[in-house]
Amino acid sequence: SYKDMKRILITFLLFLSSLLAWAQIPQIGKSIGRSSYQNVEAMMLDKSEGVDYVEVTMNNVIAKDLAGAPARARQLMEDLQKAGIKVWSVHMPFSRTLDISVIDDARRNENIQYIKDAMQMAAVFHPQYIVLHPSSEPISPYEREQRLANSHAAIGYLATVAKEIGAVL
């Protein structure tokens, strides 16, 4: 009957709208470094409170001990996997001195190599995205055009490195 069809249609539309609303619920994430989680239990607590994804901050993973960083990165990934938390993105190191746009060619190349090494180390996290700061302020108006060009070239190169590890820069 017409009433039954109308009831079925209304029920279906309510079901469909609730399904669409559920599909749009955002996942919860947070930015972390090794120091953010002292142990797997802290990660598991976050997971139980709804944290599904993290952005790993490579500044904290690398810290002041570049030689020990790969082992810390592997351990962090193992711990995240045990907790059931996925890595959404990795944030590359940055500072006023670690700037991919600097005018000095030798320093810029060293900085780009450092970021490349950090990206390759970050491959252990299987990130979808890599976050990179293209420069640091303040920049003199006399240097701005050259620094923009330097940054553009460095980003083009580093984007290919990101792609090699399956991420988007």
Report the amino acid identity of residue 49: E
91-125: b or e for each residue (b if 16 or more CB lie within 10 Å)? bbbbeeebbbbbeeeeebeebbebbbbbbebbbbb
Encode pLDDT of 4-61 as tens digits: 666 665 665 555 555 555 555 567 777 776 566 678 888 898 889 888 999 999 988 8
Kindly report which listed range (6-10, 37-41, 70-74, 100-104) carries the lowest average pLDDT score.
6-10
Q: What is the pLDDT of residue 29?
A: 74
Residue 53 near residue 31, CB atoms below 8 Å: no
Q: What is the pLDDT of residue 99?
A: 95
Q: Is the pTM of this model over 0.75?
A: yes
Give the pLDDT band of residue 162 (cuts 50, 70, 90).
very high
Which residues does 4 contact at the CB level (< 8 Å), separation at least 6?
none
Q: What is the pLDDT of residue 133?
A: 94
